[in-house]
Homo-oligomer: A and B are copies of this chain.
């Protein structure tokens, strides 16, 4: 029923790492740039690490991409970071009456269009890569 800011935070983080990864990028630096808490960033980065997208050095700190930006889709990032929330991102009233013929079937009835909407979003997410975002970013800077 909700799509959190985790994906935008993760993409922001990955762009910084892709662009400035030669320097040591810590969770505090990314927290500064994103305007959010370093612990949130560490959790996100941990998930990106588990998904095989990032390398992170514990202790010494610093992160680097493990995959070419061309091969990192928004969908991969989103899925690594917030896997549940797309299925069910459209809210459904949770307690319809079982005794009403409509109430007892409304969930099943709406599941078809809702799944198509989810699939449509997933499709767009799969079309965009980190490389494209970086390219657009650089075009913005002239």
Binding site for B on A (CB under 8 A): 1-9, 11-12, 15-16, 19, 32-36, 74, 89-97, 100-103, 105-106, 108-110, 112-113, 116-117, 120-121, 123-125, 128, 133, 136-137, 140-141
Contacts of A109 in B (CB 8 A): 15, 133, 136-137, 140
Contacts of A140 in B (CB 8 A): 105, 108-109
| Contact of A92 with B8 in the complex, beta carbons under 8 Å | yes
Q: How many copies does the complex hold?
A: 2
- Looking at chain A's contact residues, the main secondary structure is helix
| Contact of B124 with A91 in the complex, beta carbons under 8 Å | no
| Contact of B9 with A137 in the complex, beta carbons under 8 Å | no
